[in-house]
Chains A and B, each alone.
Chain A
Amino acid sequence: MKPAPFAYHAPETLPEAITLLQRFESDGVDAKILAGGQSLMPMLAMRVARPEVLVDLRRLRSLDYIRAEGGTLTIGAMTPKRAAEQSALVRETQPLFHAATELVGHVGVRNRGTVGGSFAHADPASEYPAVALVLDMELKAVGPAGERTIPAADFFVTYMTTSLEATEVLTEVRLPAWTRGTGWAIQEMARRQGDLALAGVAATLRLVRGACTGVRLAAFGVNATAVRLRAAEELLEGQRPEAANFARAAAAGAGNLEEPMSCVHASSEYRRQLVEVLAKRCLAEAASRAV
C-alpha cells in the first residue's frame, strides 16, 4: 500500500504557493494541496488519489494562528486541530467549535491534521462543516485574483467538494461572535471512540422569555454535505423547550432529509433515525445550556 509517484513542492510563502498552483493549472498538471495529510495520505497510499504534484503548505507558518478580531474568532487554515483544542480562547469563546474539535479522531490525528484541512476536505461525516453551518462561519480563501470570503452555506458543494478553485488556498476560518446565553450541543454516533461519525447533529438555540429562538440545527454524516435541518428549526422557533417539542422538531428535521447515504455500518433509514434521535437529544442538551 504505497503511494504512486508525485512531485513535491513546499513553497515558503502564500503567493509562491498560489503561483505554483496557477502554473500547474495552466499546464494541465494535476496538483493537490497537502496540509496535515490525515485525510489525503490514506487516499494516496491506496492510490485512489493520484495527483502528479503535491503542494505542501507546511512552511506557511503565517497560516498557523488563533486570534480574536473584535468579536470574531479567526483561525489560520494551517493551525493544528490540537492547538484549537488546547486553546483557552477557543474553549471560552466558541464552545461548540471546541467540542466539535474534541470529537475529531484521535490525539495524533489532531496534532497533525489542520483546521483548514477539514474544511477543504469537506468530508460529509466531519463535524466541522455542520458546525460551520450552525454558526454561520466564513471561510477565507486566497487565489490569483486575491482574497475572497465565502459563507459556509456556499462553501460545501457536495461530497468532498468545496467551492474553492484549484488555484485557491483556504487561509482562514472565521467564527462570528458568540451570542452570550446561547445553548449548544453536538452529538454523534460513531462505531468506535474517535471514528468518523455514522451520523451526528450540532445545534444552537437561545431561550427568550421561556421560548426557543434562533434555533440552528445541522446534521453530518448523512448527505453529501452537512445539512441544516430547517424544518426542525422552524418548528421549534417560538416553542417552549419541552421534550415533546424537541421530539416533534427532530422528527420533522429527519423526515425532511434527502435520502441519507448507506454503507455497511448504517442503512439509509438507520441514518435518518439517528438524525432524529441525535437532534432530539441535542436540542434538549442545548436548551439545558441556554440561559
Chain B
Amino acid sequence: MARGVLKLPEDLPVSVPRFVGKEVTRLEDPGLVTGTAEFIDNLSLAGMLHCAILRSPHPHARILRIDTSAAEAMDGVAAVLTGEDLRRWCNPAVTAPEGWGSYSMAVDKVRFVGEPVAAVAACNRYLAEDALEQIRVEYEPLPCVPDAHAATTPGASLVFEEKGSNVIQSRVYDWGEVDRMFAEADHVVSNTFRWNRVGANPTETFGCICQWDLTGNALTCHGSYQVPRFMALGRSATLRLPANRIRIIAQPMGGGFGGKGGPRGTDIAALLSRKAEGRPVKYIEDRIEYLLAGGGQSWDRHYEAALAVRADGTITGLKVKLLDDQGAGAEGYGTISAAKPLAAFTGCYRIEAARYDLTLVATNRAPTYPFRGYGPPPHYFVLESLVDMAARKLGMDPAELRRRNYIRPEQFPYVVPSGNEYDSGQYEVVLDKALALADYAKLRAEQARARAAGRLIGIGVVSTVEPGVFDWNCYATVGVPGVGVPEGVKVAVDILGNVTVAVGFNLQGQGQFTVAAQVAADYLGVDMHAVRVATAASDVALPHFGQGGSRLGVSVTGAVLGACRKLEVLFCRVVAHLMQTTPEQVELMDGRLRLKANPAVGMTLAEVAGTMLARSDLLPPDVEPCPEANYVWTAPGRTAPDEQGRCKSYLTAANATHLVMVEVDRETGQTSILGYWIVDDCGTRLNPATVDGQIEGGVAQGVGAALFEEYVYGESAQPLVTTFVDYLIPTIGEVPSSRKAVVVTPSPVSPLGAKGTGEGAIHTTPAAIMCAINDALSPLGIEVRETPASPRRLWQLLQQVA
C-alpha cells in the first residue's frame, strides 16, 4: 500500500535510489547539443507572416497622427496595426496594483522609448522592417519624468494622468519595536545605496507565433513562454477573449531568468493575425528591442538604510527605505520584486525588529520586469554592506560579526520579523566550511602584506538566505492576492511499461525535465531514460505555474511524487484484485507490485498497465482502464498575510556563504577577482551537477550586476545602452572559477528534503563583491555604494583621495 510524504530520497520504493541525488546527465541535452530542440524561431507554420514593430523614439509624447498608407500599399505587406486597433479591440494590461498598465501598443501617447507604436505583418522580416520605414508618426513631445526622484517632485509630469500622481504605491511595513531598537542601540550604521538597472538578458530573446481563429474566436500562441497559464490569463484580459479560448504552447526556451517578457509581443502578433485573416504571425524580438523594451530591465533602486547594533555586535534592528523606479507602469509586475524581500528581510540574522518603507514610482523609463532573485539581490547588497560597515565601526572581523548574529540551528523553524518561517539551516557550519575552504586566516595575512605594499586588496564574506518555492501570499500587499501556487503533472504508464510525465511548462535550462524523470524513475523503478517528459498546452495542462522563484525543482518533485503515489495506490488495488488479496498486502518495490508476504510473486508495471488497458474483464468493478494519475502540488502550510504582510510564504530557506577576494587597481579603478569560494546548503541535492550549474550561473550574473551591467539613461530618459556592445554580459574571461563545498540540511517540510536553489548565488554574489571592494578601499576611507562598481565609477571615487 502507498506510503506517506517522502521526506528523503531513502524513502523512495527502491532498494537504492539510482537517479535521485546522483549527478545524472540530463534528458534535455541531446536535443540541445545537436541543435535540434525546437526553439520558437525554429518553428514555422504554413502561410506564416513576420512581424516587425515600430517603436517610439520619445520617452513621453502625445501621438498626433499615424499615417500607415504607404506601408499598407507595399507588396508583401499583409497587415498594419496601430493603437487605434487596440483602442477598438483591447484593454490595457492588468497590473498590480491596478490601473498602472498600458495597452500593448501605445494609444494616444507613448510613455517610454521603445514603446510599440505600430506594427507590420509581411511575408518576411526584412520586408516588414522596410515597411516600418514607410510609416509616418507625428509626435508632440511632453515633459518627461526621467528618474525616481523627479517622479515625486511637485509639478512633475504624469506618466499616467488618470492616476493623478506618479506614485504607484507608498507604504511602510513595521515589524516589531523598531524605534526602540534604534533608540537603545549603541551604534547606528546608516547609509544610502544605489542599485542601477540590470536585467535578465537570456541569450534567446522573446518570440512567438500567434494565430487567431476567426471562426472559432480563439487564439493559439506558440512561444518562449515561461509561465504559460499566466500568459493565457493576461491575454484573455487584454485581448477580450475567454481564457479557455487561448491556447499557449510553450516551446523550449533559451533561458528566461524571469525577464523573458512577451505580453506585448504576443498581443501584437495576435492582433496582426486577426487583421491578416487569421494567418499565423511570427514575432521574434531582436536584441535591441529586448534591451529597449523587452522584459529585460529590473531593479532601479535608491535606498536609505540603517542598522541598530549593540556594543557587543548584536544587531537588533534594520530600517530600509526604498524608492523604486518601476518605469512606465507596473505591467511587468516589478512591484512584486519590491515586496519579495519580505520573505527574508533580515537575511540570516536574528534581527528582532525591522521597518520597510517602500515607495514605488512610475517614470518614463522602460517598465521593469522580474529578474532572477526578484528583489533580494539589491536588498542583500544593502543589508550585507551595512553589516560590513558595522564590523568596521566595531573593529570586528566581518565573518565573526555575522556568526554572532546568525539564527542558530536549534531555533528553526524560525519566524523572521517580516513574517516568513525559515524551515532549517546550519549557518555557522556553512560559514566555517567556507572560511576553511578559502583558508581565511591566510587570505587576511596576504591582504595585510599586500596593503603594506600599497595594494588595494579586499575580502568579502557574505551569507544570505534564499527563500525557495515561491508563493504569492505576501504579494497581496502589492495587489496580487492568493495562497498557493499549483504545479500539476500527469504520470502515465503505457501498455509496454513506458512512463510519460506531462507537465505544464517547457525547458528553460534548469533541468526540471530531468528532475521529473529522476523522481518518476526512482519511484516507479524504471530507467530514467525510459521516462519521457512532455509539455502540455496551457488549455489542457493541469494547473501549473512553471519556472520562477526557485520553486520548480521542489514543486515538480512534489507533483511527480504525488502522482506516483496515486498510481501506486491504484496499481496495488488492481494487483490485489488479480491476486485475490487486499491492497494492504501489495507493495511497490523496484518497479514491481509484489506481495509483501511473498516478494517473489508480483507483476511489473507493464503487466499491470497492460491489464488495465486491455483486460477490463479482470479489473475491479470501480477501477477505470486508465493507468495514469494527476497530481497538483502546492506548498503545504502556507498562510495569508496580515496587514503587515506577515505570513508563511516561501516554503524553504537555503543558505550560502560566498567568500571573495578582489584587487582594485588604484590607477584605473578596475577590479580583478582573485579568488572565489562558495559553501552552499540547499538541502537534498536532487542532481548535484544541476545545483552547481545554478550556482555558477548565478555567480556570473552577480558578477555582471556588481561590475559590468547597467542600463544607463540620459537626463531626458533616453536609454543610452541599447546594444550588446554596451550592455556588458560577462564573458568567460570575466567570470571567476569558484571553489565549492557543500553542507546538506534537508528541509523537513519539502518533498525529499530539497530546497529551492535557483537564485541563491545572484542574491549573494553582488553583495560579496561589493563588500570585498569596500574592504579593499577601507584604508583610504572611501566606499562605493552604487552598482555596478565599474572602473570609471571606482576611479571617480579614488579621485577623492588622490
Stretch in B28-36, B496-504, B552-560, B788-796 touching the partner: B788-796
Q: How many whole Å from A265's CB to the nearest CB in chain B?
A: 6
Measured in the bound complex, the distance between the Cα atoms of B726 and A5 in whole Å is 27
Measured in the bound complex, the distance between the Cα atoms of B731 and A196 in whole Å is 14
Residue B5 CB within 8 A of the other chain: no
Q: Which of A4, A46, A189, A194 contacts B670 (CB 8 A)?
A: A189
1/0 per residue, CB under 8 A from B, across A262-280: the answer is 0011110010011001000
Q: How many whole Å from B554's CB to the nearest CB in chain A?
A: 35
The answer to whether B795 and A192 touch across the interface, beta carbons within 8 angstroms, is no
The answer to whether B733 and A270 touch across the interface, beta carbons within 8 angstroms, is no
Residues 1-45 (chain A) with a chain B CB within 8 angstroms: 1-5
The answer to whether A273 and B795 touch across the interface, beta carbons within 8 angstroms, is yes
Residues of A within 8 A of B792 (CB): 265-267, 270
Residue of B nearest to A273 (CB): B795
Stretch in B122-130, B301-309, B323-331, B607-615 touching the partner: B122-130
Q: How large is the interface on A (under 10, 10 to 19, 20 to 34, 35 or more residues)?
A: 20 to 34
1/0 per residue, CB under 8 A from B, across A176-193: the answer is 000000000000010111
Measured in the bound complex, the distance between the Cα atoms of B794 and A274 in whole Å is 13
Q: Which of A46, A193, A277 contacts B668 (CB 8 A)?
A: A277
Residues of B within 8 A of A265 (CB): 726, 790, 792
Measured in the bound complex, the distance between the Cα atoms of B790 and A191 in whole Å is 9
Residue of B nearest to A192 (CB): B731
The answer to whether B126 and A2 touch across the interface, beta carbons within 8 angstroms, is yes
The answer to whether B670 and A264 touch across the interface, beta carbons within 8 angstroms, is no
Q: How many whole Å from B135's CB to the nearest CB in chain A?
A: 15
Residue B206 CB within 8 A of the other chain: no
The answer to whether A2 and B129 touch across the interface, beta carbons within 8 angstroms, is yes
Measured in the bound complex, the distance between the Cα atoms of B666 and A139 in whole Å is 39
The answer to whether A194 and B731 touch across the interface, beta carbons within 8 angstroms, is yes
Residues 704-746 (chain B) with a chain A CB within 8 angstroms: 708, 710, 712, 720-721, 723, 725-726, 728, 730-734
The answer to whether A189 and B731 touch across the interface, beta carbons within 8 angstroms, is no
Residues of A within 8 A of B129 (CB): 1-2, 47
Residues 357-381 (chain B) with a chain A CB within 8 angstroms: none
Q: Which of A1, A4, A189 contacts B791 (CB 8 A)?
A: A189
Q: A264-B712, A274-B668 are in contact. Are A4 and B795 (CB under 8 A)?
A: no
Residue of B nearest to A271 (CB): B792
The answer to whether B720 and A264 touch across the interface, beta carbons within 8 angstroms, is yes
1/0 per residue, CB under 8 A from A, across B763-802: the answer is 0000000000000000000000000001110011000000
1/0 per residue, CB under 8 A from A, across B389-432: the answer is 00000000000000000000000000000000000000000000
Q: How many whole Å from B736's CB to the nearest CB in chain A?
A: 13
1/0 per residue, CB under 8 A from B, across A189-219: the answer is 1011111100000000000000000000000
Measured in the bound complex, the distance between the Cα atoms of B358 and A48 in whole Å is 43
Measured in the bound complex, the distance between the Cα atoms of B648 and A211 in whole Å is 75
1/0 per residue, CB under 8 A from A, across B656-668: the answer is 0000000000011
Measured in the bound complex, the distance between the Cα atoms of B582 and A62 in whole Å is 88
Residues of B within 8 A of A266 (CB): 791-792
Q: A5-B130, A264-B721, A270-B795 are in contact. Are A192 and B708 (CB under 8 A)?
A: yes
Residue of A nearest to B714 (CB): A264
The answer to whether A192 and B668 touch across the interface, beta carbons within 8 angstroms, is no
Measured in the bound complex, the distance between the Cα atoms of B667 and A2 in whole Å is 42
Residues of A within 8 A of B130 (CB): 4-5
Q: Which of A4, A192, A196, A277 contacts B728 (CB 8 A)?
A: A192
Measured in the bound complex, the distance between the Cα atoms of B728 and A195 in whole Å is 10
The answer to whether A192 and B712 touch across the interface, beta carbons within 8 angstroms, is no
Measured in the bound complex, the distance between the Cα atoms of B723 and A196 in whole Å is 14
1/0 per residue, CB under 8 A from A, across B274-295: the answer is 0000000000001110000000
Residues of A within 8 A of B734 (CB): 192-193
Q: How many whole Å from A256's CB to the nearest CB in chain B?
A: 19
Measured in the bound complex, the distance between the Cα atoms of B720 and A266 in whole Å is 13
Residues 238-291 (chain A) with a chain B CB within 8 angstroms: 264-267, 270, 273-274, 277
Residues of A within 8 A of B790 (CB): 191, 265
Measured in the bound complex, the distance between the Cα atoms of B712 and A270 in whole Å is 17
The answer to whether A194 and B733 touch across the interface, beta carbons within 8 angstroms, is yes
Measured in the bound complex, the distance between the Cα atoms of B116 and A189 in whole Å is 37
Residues of B within 8 A of A1 (CB): 129, 286-288
Residues of B within 8 A of A274 (CB): 668
Q: Which of B126, B286, B733 contacts A192 (CB 8 A)?
A: B733
Residue of B nearest to A45 (CB): B286
The answer to whether A270 and B796 touch across the interface, beta carbons within 8 angstroms, is yes
Chain A interface (Cβ < 8 Å from any Cβ of B): 1-5, 46-47, 189, 191-196, 264-267, 270, 273-274, 277
Known: A270-B795, A277-B668. 4 other contacts (CB 8 A): A193-B732, A265-B726, A270-B669, A273-B667
Q: List 20 A-B contacts (CB under 8 A).
A: A1-B129, A1-B288, A2-B126, A3-B126, A4-B130, A46-B288, A191-B708, A191-B728, A191-B791, A192-B731, A192-B734, A194-B733, A264-B710, A264-B712, A265-B790, A270-B669, A270-B791, A270-B792, A273-B668, A277-B668
List the 10 closest A-B pairs by CB distance, nearest first.
A193-B733, A1-B286, A277-B667, A2-B126, A264-B712, A270-B792, A264-B720, A2-B129, A192-B731, A191-B728
